[in-house]
């Protein structure tokens, strides 16, 4: 009888640990995806031989108008 009681008392903490492990695994997968995105060497356009780097100036961004909407 004491074995059954000990088993039932240990069930809830074991279940919480299992849920914690699943949560941590999901978080590690997300971190791995973020690392892959941030660790990319160069954008695709810069890897092309004749690619051109486009740079937006501050004045080009401040003079925007919603006329095309």
Q: Is 12 exposed, middle or buried (0-12, 13-18, 19+ CB in 10 A)?
A: exposed
pTM, two decimals, is 0.45
In contact, 25 and 32? CB cutoff 8 Å: no
What's residue 49's pLDDT? 67
- Judged by DSSP in three states, 25 sits in helix
What is the C-alpha to C-alpha distance for residues 19 and 9, in angstroms, rounded to an integer? 17
Give the CA diameter of the chain. 80
High-pLDDT (> 90) share of the chain, %: 30
Residues in the chain predicted with pLDDT less than 50, given as ranges, are 69
């Amino acid at each position: 009888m004491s074995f059954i009681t000990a088993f039932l008392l240990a069930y809830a903490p074991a279940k919480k640990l299992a849920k914690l492990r699943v949560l941590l695994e999901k978080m590690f997968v997300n971190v791995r995806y973020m690392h892959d995105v941030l660790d990319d060497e160069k954008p695709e356009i810069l890897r092309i031989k004749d690619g051109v780097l486009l740079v937006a100036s501050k004045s080009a961004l401040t003079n925007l108008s919603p006329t095309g909407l």
